[in-house]
Structure 1
Amino acid sequence: MGHPLYQRRGAISYDSSDQTALYIRMLGDVRVRSQVGFEPERRSSHPYLCIDFRTLHTRLSCGSTSASSAPERRVHRLLSFQRYLHSSRLLRGVPQQIPLHILDEDYTGQARCMLEKVGTWNFDIFLFDRLTNGNSLVTLTFHLLNQYGLVELFQLDMVKLWRFLVMVQEDYHSDNPYHNAVHAADVTQAMYCYLREPMLAKSLTSYDILLGLVAAATHDLGHPGVNQPFLIKTDHYLATLYRNTSVLENHHWKSAVGLLRETGLFSHLPAEDSLNMERELGSLILATDISRQNEYLSRFRMHLDQENLCLSNASHRHFILQMALKCADICNPCRPWELSKQWSEKVTEEFFQQGDIEKKHKLEVSPLCDRETNTVGNIQIGFMTYVAEPLFAEWARFSDTRLSQTMLGHMGLNKASWGGLQQEQTSISEEAEPSTAGADTEDAAVAQMDGSRTAGGTSSKEIPQGNRES
């Protein structure tokens, strides 16, 4: 941290020797942007370029006091963990399985019992997050890395690993109803389910598994709660930095790399291995850009048609990891109804909040973001029909297992449930006046592919920037 080329300003880490590799962990720090070549005049010429999203998130939730206590809780957790390490035998050698009691501060008996079933598809991440006191991402990811023996195998320093995971969790905006740390934990749990599928379990290396879990945990890091088109049309500096291409995904990737370097989690590895890990992490995260869905799906379908996937080939294994992460990222429609419905409502609320902001500032309202002309049901039905179903049908061709059939079964039932709710709402609204809620589902799905992803929600913020459902 003391290195002159690697500095930290507030919540932002960046490498001042490489402007295109800014490791931006949060949006809106004007000081850093001015130091790396963004002229204040240009930024202030547009009303959205000076928005500080940290201020934004607290502005409309000023009644909450949780923010003030969070830093104290984090420091307390870290100090407790370090005190335990320094007073235990772990200092004299890491055991094969790190005992769960080192996490007693965040674990309850119920949370520990849940982790014993972490590989089941009906895993309730919302309950788990409550049982871990809002630390689902840290707790679950640490548990999985340890369960696979990756902490010992890669000789990861546990204090660095814990610090990395805590910082990752805290860099997700908790005020985003959907793109928050709970979504990241849910995607990580889904990724674990896929890694255990026979086709992958017998082929993936420990390196692949480490990469897949880290990518899942960080895939939406620093998501601001609005989509890429919003960033582009408001001339946000991230859109300029990444040339309007996979803006959010590049931001998530660079943010993750910044935290890896800041914590030094892989600093003990050979430099070439560490750089390869960063590059491949980026390749996985960039694959979650929903606007490139057809590109990946066509390639996947071609491999399956030609039956030429060879998982002893490193590049083919990496491609399957990309597809697994894509599935994990948009698997909400495939969860049991009780879970899927919650995610659907969250993502839709996030869309609607962006629309509210666009209306307030006289901007064209983005597709799916107008709460007056869209409903949760019509958005989800379109998304399932044109985005989720084609992807999971191909995944089932690749991995024809009980899990794949379970996911397709849940999606069919969920789609029917939303259809039933839509009919009820339509009947009620028609009694009063003609309804405009039934937006064309295919157009809605295509629009959603452009700027967001599946289930997730948001809260009422004043002015966000950048939503996408990764």
Structure 2
Amino acid sequence: MGFFLFLLFFFSPVQRRGAISYDSSDQTALYIRMLGACVVFKQLFANVRVRSQVGFEPERRSSHPYLCIDFRTLHTRLGCGSTSASSDPERRVHRLLSFQRYLHSSRLLRGVPQQIPLHILDEDYTGQARCMLEKVGNWNFDIFLFDRLTNGNSLITLTFHLLNQYGLVELFQLDMVKLWRFLVMVQEDYHSDNPYHNAVHAADVTQAMYCYLREPMLAKSLTSKDILLGLLAAATHDLDHPGVNQPFLIKTDHYLATLYRNTSVLENHHWKSAVGLLRETGLFSHLPAEDRLNMERDLGSLILATDISRQNDYLSRFRLHLDQENLCMSTASHRHFVLQMALKCADICNPCRPWELSKQWSEKVTEEFFQQGDIEKKHKLEVSPLCDREMNTVGNIQIGFMTYVAEPLFAEWARFCDTRLSQTMLGHMGLNKASWGGLQQEPAPVSEEAQPSTACADTGDAATAPSDGSTATTAGGTSSKEIPQGSRES
């Protein structure tokens, strides 16, 4: 009886859960009722949370933010119009419930320790995804394909796999359920409507970070704590990114800009959001308080290093160490600095990927720029550098980014590592730069009816790195967003 009273309460008209309204007239709510009690309870613990669409989600979270339902997926799967939709509804959401199915059938809920590794992939994709994970250290790893094979859970699956592969789960005695909950919340705190700064980008950076951790200079020196921090920082380095850059937040008087005094606004927010999830899930709650605080502080130091406006500071310091040959990897502070440089390289490594991958990332980040520019035009704000789609192209933005930002960094990284991978990255970047240059020189087909203004697309002065720090890894926006909370319109 208590079970049905709970369902009655949960689905009663106009019940509120956060920003979600369960109005009985809502068609989506009707779809949920069709699933039956069993599927509802499974979906309560599904790995997708529904976020508010108004501005930013506050850094202080509710006590149970993961108890939400993916309405869009249910609507898509059950709204097909076929007669089998109602006859076998549970089968249609089968792929959404992989971890829950394994978890509920495991010994974890009965208090018996589960052997590592935990089965985390959907059985329909296990073979292909696991096959890719066997080659996760390859530089040509296709994160887009991996994301499809994991049903959109590339960040969760990849990070979990790497932590387990290094033996960090067992070494640091991480609770498996807490770890999984943390990774689910991390993935869902990335905005899927961002063309670039989303969970797939975070997964790509995590995979690149793993490649760098395997470089001989790092592999023989880093401690287990260094590796744990490096992987967690890569996975969370853009957490809750709004899809717009710091200058946009500052000029619109956003509350985050005020909170962090216009300094490393996004990076501070990513760090504090990550710390919030660590504390909410209690992932490190079993560690001494001092160790927890040190982990949080070091995590923040790594994430803050990705602030592109401080690129020259880090690069000059790195170059000085290499010139003086005084980097000592047995010193904790030097290892941490190398981790910072590794994360910086991983964050902007897109130009160093093979052309097929690099081109996709270039198009995504440029679209995010242009969507921010569209928002600025709509609200009569000054359009940020690189964000005017009528004055810039993917090619000239990428050539400028490689010339002034990526090439100097990866040249110094190659001096430090001097490995096949470091030379491969430089080789790819040179080829990609030449490819964009070739595309820029190709005359675009213009019809007789085309307006003369289309010819100005290649005249934008985007080949220089903007002084405000808005480069190919920090700028952008989405057309679906309005001015974020706390901003003003001209």
Short-chain TM bin: 0.7 to 0.9
Asked if structure 2 preserves the Cα contact closer than 8 Å seen for 1:343 and 1:457, the reply is: no
Name whichever of 417-426 and 110-119 sits farther off.
417-426
* Cα displacement (A) at 1:92: 9.8
Distance between the aligned counterparts of 2:486 and 2:460, measured in 1? Answer: 23
Q: Does 1:8 align with 2:16?
A: yes
**Helix, strand or coil at the partner of 2:478:** coil
Pick closer, same or farther for the CA change 1:365–1:144 going to 2, 3 Å: same
Pick closer, same or farther for the CA change 1:162–1:30 going to 2, 3 Å: closer
What do the CA deviations read for 1:281-314 (whole angstroms, capped 9, x no partner)?
Answer: 0000000000000000000000000000000000
Asked if structure 2 preserves the Cα contact closer than 8 Å seen for 1:226 and 1:354, the reply is: yes
Name whichever of 423-432 and 209-218 sits farther off.
423-432
Q: Which has the larger radius of gyration?
A: 2
Name whichever of 22-31 and 273-282 sits farther off.
22-31
Asked if structure 2 preserves the Cα contact closer than 8 Å seen for 1:24 and 1:254, the reply is: no
Pick closer, same or farther for the CA change 1:417–1:446 going to 2, 3 Å: closer
* Cα displacement (A) at 1:98: 1.9
What do the CA deviations read for 1:266-290 (whole angstroms, capped 9, x no partner)?
Answer: 0000000000000010000000000
* Cα displacement (A) at 1:74: 15
Name whichever of 20-29 and 373-382 sits farther off.
20-29
Q: How many residues align?
A: 465
Name whichever of 419-428 and 73-82 sits farther off.
73-82
What do the CA deviations read for 1:304-341 (whole angstroms, capped 9, x no partner)?
Answer: 00000000000000000000000000000000000000
Asked if structure 2 preserves the Cα contact closer than 8 Å seen for 1:345 and 1:457, the reply is: no
Name whichever of 360-369 and 81-90 sits farther off.
81-90
Of the three residues 57, 77, 82, the one matched with 2:95 is 77
* Cα displacement (A) at 1:103: 3.5
What do the CA deviations read for 1:374-410 (whole angstroms, capped 9, x no partner)?
Answer: 0000000000000000000000000000000000000
Pick closer, same or farther for the CA change 1:35–1:353 going to 2, 3 Å: closer
Asked if structure 2 preserves the Cα contact closer than 8 Å seen for 1:119 and 1:192, the reply is: yes
Distance between the aligned counterparts of 1:464 and 1:305, measured in 2? Answer: 45
Pick closer, same or farther for the CA change 1:441–1:201 going to 2, 3 Å: farther
Of the three residues 48, 51, 56, the one matched with 2:69 is 51
Pick closer, same or farther for the CA change 1:374–1:218 going to 2, 3 Å: same
1:125 matched residue in structure 2: 143
Asked if structure 1 preserves the Cα contact closer than 8 Å seen for 2:367 and 2:476, the reply is: yes
What do the CA deviations read for 1:196-240 (whole angstroms, capped 9, x no partner)?
Answer: 000000000000000000000000000000000000000000000
Asked if structure 1 preserves the Cα contact closer than 8 Å seen for 2:221 and 2:329, the reply is: yes
Distance between the aligned counterparts of 2:66 and 2:358, measured in 1? Answer: 33
Pick closer, same or farther for the CA change 1:70–1:463 going to 2, 3 Å: farther
Pick closer, same or farther for the CA change 1:66–1:34 going to 2, 3 Å: same
Q: Could you list the runs of 5+ residues in structure 1 that have no partner in the other structure?
A: none
Asked if structure 2 preserves the Cα contact closer than 8 Å seen for 1:221 and 1:255, the reply is: yes
Distance between the aligned counterparts of 1:21 and 1:317, measured in 2? Answer: 52
Name whichever of 36-45 and 384-393 sits farther off.
36-45
Distance between the aligned counterparts of 2:265 and 2:469, measured in 1? Answer: 11
Pick closer, same or farther for the CA change 1:314–1:429 going to 2, 3 Å: farther
Q: Does 1:459 align with 2:467?
A: no
Distance between the aligned counterparts of 1:244 and 1:143, measured in 2? Answer: 37
Q: Does 1:247 align with 2:255?
A: no
What do the CA deviations read for 1:128-166 (whole angstroms, capped 9, x no partner)?
Answer: 000000000000000000000000000000000000000
Using the size of structure 2 for normalisation, the TM-score is: 0.76
1:205 matched residue in structure 2: 223
**Helix, strand or coil at the partner of 1:446:** coil
Asked if structure 2 preserves the Cα contact closer than 8 Å seen for 1:228 and 1:248, the reply is: yes
Q: Could you list the runs of 5+ residues in structure 2 that have no partner in the other structure?
A: 3-14, 37-46
- Within 5 Å, which residues of 2 pair with 1:105-144? 107-144=125-162
1:371 matched residue in structure 2: 389
* Cα displacement (A) at 1:88: 4.3
Name whichever of 39-48 and 160-169 sits farther off.
39-48
Pick closer, same or farther for the CA change 1:268–1:186 going to 2, 3 Å: same
* Cα displacement (A) at 1:40: 15
Asked if structure 2 preserves the Cα contact closer than 8 Å seen for 1:194 and 1:200, the reply is: yes
Pick closer, same or farther for the CA change 1:75–1:167 going to 2, 3 Å: farther
Asked if structure 1 preserves the Cα contact closer than 8 Å seen for 2:190 and 2:198, the reply is: yes
**Helix, strand or coil at the partner of 1:13:** strand
Name whichever of 366-375 and 39-48 sits farther off.
39-48
Asked if structure 2 preserves the Cα contact closer than 8 Å seen for 1:141 and 1:185, the reply is: yes
* Cα displacement (A) at 1:13: 20
Root mean square deviation of aligned Cα: 8.9
How much identity, in percent, do the aligned residues show?
94
Asked if structure 1 preserves the Cα contact closer than 8 Å seen for 2:234 and 2:343, the reply is: yes
Distance between the aligned counterparts of 1:189 and 1:357, measured in 2? Answer: 32
Pick closer, same or farther for the CA change 1:135–1:403 going to 2, 3 Å: same
Pick closer, same or farther for the CA change 1:32–1:331 going to 2, 3 Å: closer
* Cα displacement (A) at 1:26: 31
Compare relative contact order (CA 8 Å, sep 6+) and give the higher one, 1 or 2.
1
Distance between the aligned counterparts of 2:451 and 2:34, measured in 1? Answer: 44
Using the size of structure 1 for normalisation, the TM-score is: 0.79
Pick closer, same or farther for the CA change 1:132–1:59 going to 2, 3 Å: closer
